[in-house]
Chains A and B, each alone.
Chain A
Amino acid sequence: MTADIDRRPIIEAHGLVKTFGRVVGLDGAEFELYPGEILAVIGDNGAGKSTLIKCLSGATTPDAGEIRVEGLPVAFRRPQDARAAGIETVYQSLAVVPALDIASNMYLGRELRRPGALGSVFRMLDHGLMRTKAKAQLQALGIGTLQSITQAVETLSGGQRQAVAVARAAAFGSKVIILDEPTAALGVRETGQVLKLIRDLRDRGMPVILISHNMPNVFEVADRIHIQRLGRRVAVISPATHTPSEAVAIMTGALDVELSGPVH
């Protein structure tokens, strides 16, 4: 899938800079995501992968550089801006509100109202419609065996919560889904479920950006791997051509890269 370079990226970023006081988060970072791929973003702590993702998801604004979605420049000021542009983000531990039920969580912040005066004047929510649609969306992702859509999310296991968060993103993210450490808090079996979900999304045509520390997971699902180091992209590799230990070596600077992407 590395041969997709002649295709137009869905998201691209050029020369992103972001500093926090004297700390440099991003130092001229490049980024491309192509249609139909799972792109993993890896890097050591402080390499700027979180900052990069926050720029793409609107959680923070870069000091310099540009972001383009389908070739058009965008300026995200808030997460809602990125969401409106079709970029949905699932955050590691903050994905869902534990006390609310599954349907409420899936429609949180974009609730559906009743038709007619009940909805427009009294602003009454359409719980029935939201539950029906939420259930259909979960089923479409192959996780429709959740029996009670009115169950509080805190009664679900970690993997199930993550599935609800991913389903929410998939239901609304028309173009791209960003997953931030989706398996960090999960056991082996639940991790497998979430990885399957990620592949299903890709197979349904949804490109996915996966941020992860977990090399085996990354090499299991990613089509391409973006390696971030010292605020820049130092390489883009493929699981087919590189081994995990080579990826770690590039990540930590032990291996100098002349392979692809701008050289540090």
Chain B
Amino acid sequence: MTDDSATTIDPAERLFRAVSPLQRLHHLLHRYPAISPAVVLVLAGLVLGAVNTRFFLPANLSLVIQQVAVVGGLAVGQTLIILTAGIDLSVGAIMIFSAIVMAASATTYGLPGPMALVVGLVVGTLAGGINGLLVTRLRLPPFIVTLGTLNIFTALTLLYSGGQSIQQGIPDILLWTGTDVTVGPFKLTTGVLLMVVMYAVATWVLRNTAWGRHLYAVGDDPEAARLAGIAVTRILLSAYLVAGFIFALTAWILIGRVGAASPNAAADANLDSITAVVIGGTSLFGGRGIVIGSLLGALIVGVFRNGLALAGVDVLYQTLVVGILVIVAVSIDQWIRRVRA
């Protein structure tokens, strides 16, 4: 019993002298959760490109990326919340509420553009904070909390705007995210670049700060996190606040993309953001996943919709394919989670 510690505590070696190729793949996917969505994205591109060569035209790819910007932005915040083993059904409602507040602050109340932007960002952050307070103080399930606030923010938006879009008099700074930017052969917008920056910052923070590590710990095993000295409720609340801020930033992208603040825009954004996160390999059970996967997930949905449309497939079949993708992604997640040395 004295000498076997040297031979048994050696999982890394066990991994290398492993076992079947399937088990090796299993470990690889477990370690790098972005691999499976990346493979799906490449395969989808190759197949859809083979069906219709127009798919690979820079103009078409640029269109896909621009279409993905809003859901992609929301998915950053959604990923943070799902990593804590929560879920946010109100992301789109918070975004549209923030967008209306931003635009109305300038057009109705005459605030200068930058001030209107700041007011919108603060309102979005506070809206996320309300979700966070309900989850942490009242200890309600995030699903129920955000189902409620989804309706509340949607109703507030409609009451406040009277159901009307705000198109006239939106200050330039709010429309700035719609500015064209040419990157190589691609025609993107500053809104797309803002989304990319959001992913870069979120990736860095999750990997390189204690807050990021604690977010994973709280989502994976809140009791172990608490016993390790992590202030679990503070981490949870901060995740919802940061997510709210991200949804408001995405509202800015939305205004630039639509050229207006509309209470009826992006109606599917709530569920689309969850779809992107799940296809991107982040586990709904919390603690596992990677934020860049959600961008891949959003792109996969965008590529499928675009490619199938180019191939002349009915829009209903596009939705069908997205549904199948979600189920496949969650099945793969379940399989990956069962990893054991």
Contacts and interface: CB of A to CB of B under 8 A. Distances in A.
Q: Is B one of A's binding partners?
A: yes
Interface of A: 59, 79-80, 83, 89, 91, 94-100, 104, 108-111, 113, 122-125, 127, 142-143, 145-148, 151-152, 154-157, 159-160, 163, 189-190, 192-193, 195-196
A91 B287 CA distance: 20
A129 to B, nearest CB: 13
Interface in B1-60: 1-2, 4-6, 8-13, 15, 27, 30-31
A98 B222 CA distance: 11
Interface in B259-316: 287-288
B47 to A, nearest CB: 33
Interface centre among A148, A155, A156 (most CB of B within 10 A): A155
B341 interface: yes
B224 interface: yes
A156 B30 CA distance: 13
Name the residue in B15, B213, B230, B288 with the highest tally of chain A Cβ atoms < 10 Å from its Cβ. B213
A95 B223 CA distance: 9
Contacts of A195: 1
B228 A193 contact: no
Interface in B192-222: 208-211, 213-214, 216-217, 220-221
Contacts of A154: 339-340
Given A108-B229, A113-B210, A142-B5, 16 more contacts: A98-B221, A99-B216, A100-B217, A110-B229, A125-B210, A145-B9, A145-B10, A151-B15, A152-B31, A152-B339, A155-B11, A155-B340, A157-B8, A157-B11, A189-B4, A189-B8
A147 B13 contact: yes
Given A94-B227, A143-B9, A111 B213 contact: yes
Nearest to B16: A147
Interface residues of B, number: 38
A193 B5 contact: yes
Contact of B208 (A80, A97, A125, A163): A125
Given A97-B220, A125-B209, A146 B8 contact: no
A124 B209 contact: yes
Contacts of B217: 97, 100, 108
B225 interface: yes
Nearest to A150: B31
A147 to B, nearest CB: 3
**Shortest Cβ-Cβ A-B pairs, 3 listed:** A147-B12, A109-B229, A148-B12
Contact of B341 (A79, A99, A113, A156): A156
Contacts of A146: 9-12
28 contacts: A89-B227, A91-B224, A91-B227, A94-B221, A95-B224, A96-B224, A97-B216, A97-B221, A98-B221, A99-B220, A99-B287, A100-B213, A100-B216, A109-B214, A113-B210, A124-B208, A125-B209, A125-B213, A143-B5, A152-B31, A155-B27, A155-B340, A159-B9, A189-B8, A192-B1, A192-B4, A193-B4, A195-B1
Contacts of A125: 208-210, 213
B210 A111 contact: yes
Interface string B224-238: 111111100000000
B9 A193 contact: yes
Q: Which of B5, B6, B223 has the most CB of A within 10 A?
A: B5
A113 B230 CA distance: 16
Nearest to A155: B341
A195 B1 CA distance: 10
Given A146-B11, A152-B31, A163-B9, A123 B210 contact: yes
